[in-house]
Structure formats: structure tokens, C-alpha cells
Amino acid sequence: MFIYPIYVLAPLALAAFIALLSGVIDKKSRLIKYIALAAVVSSFAIACSIIAQQSGIYALHWFSFGEVAFNITVSTFLLNKILLFLVGMIGIAIFIYSIGYMDEPEDQNRYYFEMLIFTLAMMLFAISANFISLFIAWELLGITSYLLIGFWYAKSKVSEAARAAITTILIGDISMLAAIVLFFNIYHTFNFYTLLGMAASPLAVFPLSFLLIAVFTKSAQFPFSNWLQLAMEGPTPVSAFLHSSTMVKAGVFLLILLLPLFAESNMLWILLAVGLITAVFGAMNALSENHIKKILAYSTIEDLGLMIVALGLNAVYAAVALFIVQAFYKALLFLSAGYAMKANHDREDIHKIAVNSRLISFSMLAAALSLAGIFPLSGFFGKTAIGIAARSNMIVYAVLLGIDVLSTLYIFRWFFVLKKNKKERTTVRFSKRPMEIGIGIVLALLIISSFAMYFAVNYISILRINYIKNINDIAIETLLILTSIAAAWLFYRKKDIKALSAREKNPGIAGRILYNNVFVWGAYLIVAEIIAAAANALFYFDRAFNRFTYMIGKIALLTGNALRAFENGEVNAYIAVFAAGLVFLIIFFIIK
């Protein structure tokens, strides 16, 4: 039986083939951008029809090896539909935005080919129901993200960033493959839902450990988080797509799906610890960074850390709430940042970028308020849900309140500094309209999602989170956030921008503590040196062992050559040797 949800991939695959073909025939073709947009819209329309259909699992036999059958299996349950909708809807906005952003004709075909395959991979991931389908999507995501991060590969720092990203991702790929093999050996199935229905095994801790490494690399968790800020060397639409609804969400999505296995193996504490460390590091680095997109990248690291904290608390609904709402405000922040960079000669330092567009200013403000968790914007429902889940653990709750303060400070530092800068008189020409339409779509989605979250909480209770019962905790959290916004306004909006910029270039001890990324790189260097030392030790051992075996062989050869002199066929020589041996034995027994 053919699995009909796979139809969602058909327009993307066809458009990618056209992009590849037109790239060979005509490298400056501008038609491909519209073909790519039509493909994404078509895929989203098919996705909507899948969402409207009844949920189920569908399998297509691929091949068999002995008694083991390898199937492409997909599912259309609620969680799959949510991710499919996010990828499709935000994908449309990203591709419209790209029409204005990617203005070099020779870049068009390669860019859209890679973006279409990237979108296809994420949609396949969204509906995967077994490890075979998932691993195909997982690898496609890795290779296309490498190509997109290194899109402008002629720049040395871009190619270095792409190599750093793929190196980290490959660690996770190997771990994922190891986890799949171990899962199959223990449970004899590749299917997620069969796996979840089986009795827990004490051996499950081994594949789950490898799976965690894969998740932490893909979703940029400590100590594998540094590749994500390097990924900002890629085009801004790629950054927006990567951070909002695609690759970095893949690890979190897989954790949500298989969380019962981690709970049964008592491994939730690992999620809680790693998530907290990652969220704190992300927020601190964002507060001390000046690169307009890297601030947002560290913000994504923090968001992903918070989702994993929620899963560590076994608060699945809180994690899903943030998983959904984060897509809209993070896409809006990145698209606004890309527009601001375009309007300011592609500058990257927030102290050298001015924002004068009303649409961009409003979009930035709405996204910043949502990220901070201000009611009634959708970010409020995600951020406060995690605080509610942590209320029973005062240490975790206190740390989360501290993260809320830091995240409010860094995002309003980002906003106020950009708004305070003065616009230069020179005008930069670029295709504003498609970019503004893309930003407008995501802004509308943010507002609609805010109403949808309010309706879901108050009328259909789909999230099963009681906000009203925890109104006092929400009030405390909101008060802290408002105080932080006021502090950011006083410190970043009211102060002289030149003095502020000079101070941030020489941050002192506090700034060095906040920008702890340097310590992570230092730790990477130590690990690399340990591995290099171990490799050198193995090299010297291998060389010494080779010399030893060569020496043994040489001795054996010399001995053989010496013995060969006696094996000459002369009977007199044999008798003489025999007589000498006999004499030796007689003397030996006499002495004894």
C-alpha cells in the first residue's frame, strides 16, 4: 500500500530537480524562485489535507535482509501534524522573504535547490514513525544545513563555520546510528510506537545514551552548542528557518516522542541538568554578544535548553507549548534582523545598525515582548508553562526566574540599541517588498498564535496547563520581566550610544564572565589536545610494536638461515652432530 502522506514531499522534490537542472542549463535563471515558492505552497496545501485527515500509521516495504524487513513508515498523529504545519507555514514566509533577500542571479539555483531539499528533509522528519525514515531525514538535514551554512564558501570564516557545524553534527550522526543498532538488537523493531508499547529493558540505557548525544548535537545543547552561533555565517533566511521550525527542533521533537523511554530508564535528570546549563550559558552569552544574529542564535540555544528542562521535569505539554510559540517569535526576530542588515550595508554589529522602518520596528518589538513572555503574546504561554512545571522544585524555579531576567535584558538590549542608532543619509537599494511581505506573514502568525493559545488554554484545555491556578507565580514572573525591561530601557536606551559601545568593547571582569563562550572553546581545545596526545601515544606504540615484530622476524630469519647450513644432506655431518649431542648428554648425566 502506498503511503499517501509522502505526497507532501512530491512538489519539493520536483522543484529541487528543476532547480538542479536549470542550474546546469542557465545559472542566472530567475524563474526558479517562483517555482520553489509554488512547491512550498503546494506542499503546505497537501500538509493541510493530511492534517484534516484521521490520524494513523502508514508503512511502505523498502527491502528485506534475511528475516529483517526495512520499511519507510510515517505517522500523522497530533505531534506530527503540529510540526508539519509549522514547517509548511513558516516555510512559505521564508521563501517569499528569500525572493527579496537573494538578489544575486548566479546564487539562485543552488540556494533554492538546497533550501527545497532542506524543507523536504524536515517534512519527512515531521511524519517519520520509525528509525529508518527518521535516519534518512536526519542525514538530509545534516548535509543540507552544512551546504546552507557554508553557502558563501569563498569567505574563509564561512567555510570554517560550515566545517565546525558538520563536525559536531557528525558526532551526533554516528551516535544516532549506534542507538538505532542497539535499539534493534534489544527490541527487534525500528517502529517508535511498537517500541513505546514494549516492556522496559535494563539494557535500554545504552541506546538511550547514544540517542541523547545525537539529540544534544542536533539541538545545540551543552557541550555541543557552539556550532549554532557559527551557523550565522549562512544567509539570514536559512538562519530564520533553521532556528524556528526546522533542524534544531529535530532533537527536541524526538525527545518529546520518546520521552517515556527516558522516564522508564530514570534518565530525566540528565535532560534537566543539561537543559539548565545550556539555557544559562545561552542567555549569558546573548547579553554580552554584539553580532545582531549571534545574539538571536544564543537566544535559540536558551530556548532549546528550556524545552529540554521542561522534558526533564516530565512536563510534556509545557515543552510542546514553547516548541510551538518559539517558532513564530524566533522567525520574526531573524527576518527583521536580516532586513536591518540589508538596509545598513550588511553590517553585523548592533551598534552600527539603525532601524527606521515602522514595520520592522513593530515586528521587532512584538517578537521581543513574546520572547520575554509578556501576556497576551504567545511566548507568554510557553515561558510561563515551564515556570509552572518547575514550581515544585525551588532550585530549578529560581534558576528559571534568573534566566527570564537575563533573556529580557538581552533581547531588549538588542532592540533598544538598534532603535537608538541613527540612520545614515545614504540609501541602500534592495528588494524590500518581498522581505516585508515575509515579515508581515510571520507577524500575523505571531498574533494569530497568541489568540489561538489563549483559546486553547481557556476553552478547550488542549495544553492541560492550569494558568489561573498559578496566577500568583505568573504575576511574580511578569513583574520581574517588566522590571528587566525598565532596566534595559534605562541602561541601553537612555545612555549615550558611543559611550555604551566603548564600554562593551572593554567589558571588564563581568563581561568576560557573561561571555563564557571562550571557556567552552577552551574546553574544546583541551579535549582536542587530549585526543591528539592519545593519538600520538598510539602512534609511538604502533611504531615500537612494528619494530619489535620486525626484530622477532629478523631473529627467526637468521636462525633459519643458520639451521639451513646444517640441512645440507651430508650424512657425516649429521653423524658428527649426533655424536656431539650424545657426548653432551653423557657429560650432563655424569655431572648430575
pLDDT band at 307 (very low <50, low <70, confident <90, very high): very high
53 phi, psi to nearest 5 deg: -80, 165
**Beta-ladder partners of 61:** 71
* pLDDT > 60? residue 505: no
* Residue 500, CB-side half-sphere exposure with 13 Å CA sphere: 22
3-state secondary structure of 234: coil
Within a domain: residue 466?
yes
Q: Which residue has the higher pLDDT, 132 or 5?
A: 132
SS3 140: helix
CA distance 484 to 79: 34
Is residue 541 classed exposed, middle or buried when 0-12, 13-18 and 19+ CB atoms within 10 A define those classes? exposed
More confident residue, 126 or 531: 126
Confidence at residue 581, expressed as pLDDT on a 0 to 100 scale: 78
**What's the confidence (pLDDT) of residue 518?**
57
Report pLDDT digits (tens) over 30-80.
788 888 899 999 999 999 988 888 888 888 777 777 777 788 888 888 889
Share of the chain above pLDDT 70, in %: 89
Residue range 245-269: average pLDDT? 90
In a domain, 40, yes or no: no
C-alpha cell belonging to residue 74: 510515517
Check: CB of residue 264 under 8 Å from CB of residue 200: yes
- Same domain for 282 and 185: yes
Three-class SS state of 74: strand
Select from 523, 539, 571 the last residue of a domain.
523
Q: Is the pLDDT of residue 215 over 90?
A: yes
Top-confidence residue, 466 or 547: 547
CA-nearest of 518, 492, 512 to 351 is: 492
Longest dimension (CA), the chain: 116
| Residues whose CB falls within 8 Å of the CB of residue 353, separated by 6 or more in sequence, listed in order | 292, 340, 341, 344, 347, 418, 421
Other Cβ atoms closer than 10 A to 560: 10
pTM of the model: 0.85
Asked whether residue 502 carries a pLDDT value surpassing 80, the answer given is no
Kindly state whether residues 565 and 505 are assigned to the same domain. no
C-alpha–C-alpha distance, residues 259 and 264, integer Å: 9
- Please report whether residue 150 resides in a domain: no
Is pLDDT at 439 greater than 90 in this prediction? Answer: yes
Q: Is residue 339 part of a domain?
A: yes
In a domain, 145, yes or no: no
Strands 57-65, 68-75: parallel, antiparallel or unpaired by DSSP? antiparallel
371 and 256 assigned to the same domain: yes
pLDDT band at 424 (very low <50, low <70, confident <90, very high): low
pLDDT in tens, 327-362: 999 999 999 999 988 888 888 888 888 888 889 889
Q: pLDDT tens digits for 396-412?
A: 999 999 999 999 999 99
Supply the angle between the helices 316-342 and 236-244 in degrees, to the nearest 10.
170
Domain count, the chain: 2
Q: Which of 387, 376, 386, 385 is nearest to 446 (CA)?
A: 376
Residue with cell 501534524: 81
Q: Helix, strand or coil for residue 130?
A: strand
Whether residue 390 sits in one domain with residue 260: yes
Phi and psi based region of residue 454 (left: phi greater than 0; alpha: psi -120 to 50; beta: remaining): alpha
Q: Could you tell me if 360 and 337 are in contact, meaning their C-beta atoms sit under 8 angstroms apart?
A: no
Does the structure show a pLDDT above 60 at 114? yes
> Cβ of 41: how many Cβ atoms within 10 Å?
16
- Nearest residue to 162 (alpha-carbon basis) of 237, 219, 255, 227: 227
Which range is least confidently modeled, 88-97, 237-246, 379-388, 457-466?
A: 457-466
* 144 located within any domain: no
| pLDDT of res. 559 | 81
* Residue in this structure with the C-alpha cell 598510539, named with its chain if needed: 538
Question: Are residues 569 and 453 located together in one domain of the fold?
Answer: no
Same-domain check for residues 238 and 365: yes
Tell me, yes or no, whether 175 and 196 share the same domain: yes
Range of the domain at 216: 157-523
**Is residue 37 within 8 Å of residue 99, measured between CB atoms?**
yes
**Mean pLDDT within 534-539:** 85
Distances (CA, A) of 589 to 376, 581, 583, 592: 107, 12, 10, 5
Helix 236-244 and helix 292-312: axis angle, to 10°?
Answer: 10
Phi, psi at 100, each rounded to 5°: -85, -35
Listed range (156-165, 498-507, 573-582) with the worst mean pLDDT? 498-507
- Ranges assigned E (strand) in 36-87: 57-65, 68-75
Backbone dihedral region for residue 73 (phi beyond 0: left; psi -120 to 50: alpha; all else: beta): beta
- pLDDT score recorded for residue 301: 92
Does the N-terminal peptide bond of residue 376 adopt cis geometry, omega within 30 degrees of 0?
yes
Q: Is residue 9 included in any domain, yes or no?
A: no
Q: Based on the domain organization, do 486 and 574 belong to the same domain?
A: no
- Same domain for 561 and 446, yes or no, is no
At which of 491, 507, 523 does a domain end? Answer: 523
The residue length of the chain stands at 592
Q: What is the mean pLDDT of the chain?
A: 84
* Of 472, 491, 523, the domain-final residue: 523
Rounded to whole angstroms, the Cα distance separating 113 from 91 reads: 14
Is position 60 within any domain?
no
The 3 state secondary structure assigned to 242-311 is HHHCCHHHHHHHHHHHHHHHHHHCCCHHHHHHHHHHHHHHHHHHHHHCCEHHHHHHHHHHHHHHHHHHHH
Higher local confidence (pLDDT), 106 or 494: 106
Residues 351 and 442 in one domain: yes
Give the residue carrying C-alpha cell 630469519: 557
Please check whether residues 307 and 367 belong to one and the same domain: yes
519 shares its domain with 530 = no
C-alpha cell at 60: 511502505
